[in-house]
Amino acid sequence: MSSHISTGIRRPYLVWLVPVLWTLSLGMWGLSRQNSVWRDEAATWQVAKRSPGEIWHLLGNVDAVHGLYYLLMHLLFEVFGASTTTLRLPSVLAVAVAAGCVALVGRRLAGPWAGLGGGLALGLLPAVQFQLQEGRSYALIAGGAGLSTLLLVSLIAGTGAEAGGGAGPGRRTGPRWTAYGALVLVCALLNWFSLLILPAHAVTLWWARARRGVVAPWLLASAAAVAGALPLILFSRTQSGQVSWIPPLTWHMMIGPGVLLAVGALGAWADRAGGPRTGLPARLTAASVGLPLLAVPLLGLAAVSLVQPLFLDRYVLFSMLGLALLIGTALGAAVRALAPRYPRASGALVPVVVAVSAVALLPVALADRSPASRVDDVLAVAGEVSVLKREGDAVVFVPAARRDTALVSPGAFAGLKDVALSRGPAESGTLKGEEADPARISAALREQRRVLLVTDSGKGAKPPGSPADRAKTAVLRAEFTVVEDRQVRGRRVTVYERRG
C-alpha cells in the first residue's frame, strides 16, 4: 500500500507541469486588468521606454535598486513593444517557474502529492496573486529564489548531509554552485532585499547538518553573490529618501505575517513523520527547507525595520515559496493518512482542496484583476485628458509625480503645454522631470486661457506639498474658474478657464 501511495501520480512530470500550467492560466486570466496601469507600473513603463544611456543617467539619481529590472524591461519593450502584456508577462512566467520549483522540491522531500499540492498552492496565495500580474521585479525574484532553493536541495541531497554520511553520487557540483551564486546575485541586483534568502538557506544547512563539502562551497557562492551586489547596496543607500514614505513597524503590521508563520508551523508539524523518501539525509525535510524560507526573510525584514522602516511584504515575496511548500507538505501528509482506509478518495484530496480553495479565494482573485485593486490608473486619466483637452491648452500636475500619466500616454497630451516643466524626465535623469521655480510657474499660468490640472482623487489626494505645487493651485484658485471636473480610478482632471 505504501508503495502505491508514494507513486500515486503515475506520470512524475505532471507533479511540476500541472502547477506550471495552473499558474500560467491564473496569470494570463485578466492580465490587462481592464487596460489599467498604476503608478508603480507607470515608473517601469516610462523608464523602459528610455534609451540605455538615459536609464543609466536616471539610476545615478533615483531607483538604482531597480536598475537591472529596468534594463530588462527596456529590452522587452524594444523587442515586443510597450503593452500591458509585455509589462506583466515576465512576472507571470517567473511565478510559474517558482511553482514548478516548489513542486519539484516538495516531490523530492515529501512525496508527489506534497509537490503537486505545494506547486498548486503558490499561485493561490493572496500575496502572490497580487504580484503575479504586476509590472515590477518582485515576482522575478521569487522565480530566482525557487531555482536557487531547488539547486540547494539537490546539492545537499547529492553530497550527503549528515556527518559521516556517504560521499554521494559523485556528480560534479561546481557548475551547480556557480549557478546558485549567479541566481542569488541576479536576484540581489533586481532587489537586494532578496539576499535575505541566504540566512534562510543557512538555517536549512544547519538544520540538515550539512557536511563541510556542502557548507564550504555554499559560503563561497554566497560571499561572491554578496560581494557582487555590495556596490549596488552601498550606492542605493544614498537614495534611501525614496523609501521614507514607508511607515514605522507596528505590532498590527505583524498580524498577517504571524498568521502565515502559524500556518507554516502547522505544515512543518505535519512533516514530522516524513514523506516517501529514498536516499535522502534524514534531516533534509520539507520542514527544514520550507520553514526557514518562510520565517527568516519575514522576521529579518521586520528586524531591519526596527532600525529603518522598510517593512513591505512584497520585498520578501519569495518567502511565500516556503509557505506553499509547507502547505503542500500538509496535504501530502493528509493523503498518506487517508490512503490506508480510503485509497481512492486519497487520490482526489489534493485536487478537491485546491478547487475549494480557488473558489473560496475567487473574490480575492477578481479584486486583484480589477483596476480598483491599485491606488490609481494612469491610462484612465489619460483617456479623460484626451477628451477634455483643446489645442493650445496648458496642463499642470500636482504633485509633479503625476506627470507619469503623460509619460506613459504621450499621445493623450499632444498639443498641451506643460508650463511648469523646465527639464524633461529623461533629460534631467529623474522620474518626474524638473520644474521651474514657483514665480515662473505662476507667471506662465497667468498667460494661459485654459488649464488642465491632473492630480489625485479620493483618499490619495493630499494638500500641495512643494512650493511649486502651492504656486500652481494658488493661481488656479485665484484667477481661474472650474468648468469641468472628472475623477476616474484614483486620479482627477480638472479644467480651469480664466475668469472674465
80 pLDDT above the threshold of 90: yes
Rounded to the nearest 5 degrees, what angle is found at the Cα of 127, between the Cα atoms of 190 and 266? 115
The per-residue pLDDT for 279 is 72
2 pLDDT above the threshold of 60: no
pLDDT band at residue 1 under the 50/70/90 scheme: very low
Count of Cβ atoms closer than 10 Å to residue 25 Cβ: 12
Across residues 92-101, what is the average pLDDT? 98
C-alpha cell recorded at residue 232: 549596488
Cis omega (within 30 of 0) for bond into 281: no
pLDDT tens for each residue of 452-484: 999 999 877 888 889 999 999 999 999 999 999
pLDDT band at residue 164 under the 50/70/90 scheme: very low
**Residue 58 burial by Cβ neighbours in a 10 Å radius (0-12, 13-18, 19+):** buried
The per-residue pLDDT for 466 is 92
Q: Is 495 helix (H, G, I), strand (E, B) or coil?
A: strand
With contact defined as beta carbons under 8 Å apart, do 388 and 452 qualify? yes
Across residues 412-428, what is the average pLDDT? 96
4 pLDDT above the threshold of 80: no
Mean pLDDT taken over the chain: 93
Residue 189: closest CA among 137, 148, 149, 239: 137
> pTM of the full predicted structure?
0.93
Residue 187's φ and ψ, nearest 5 degrees, are -60, -40
Indicate the DSSP class of residue 437.
P
If you search the block for the grid coordinates 536598475, which residue do you land on? 67
pLDDT band at residue 280 under the 50/70/90 scheme: confident
The per-residue pLDDT for 163 is 37
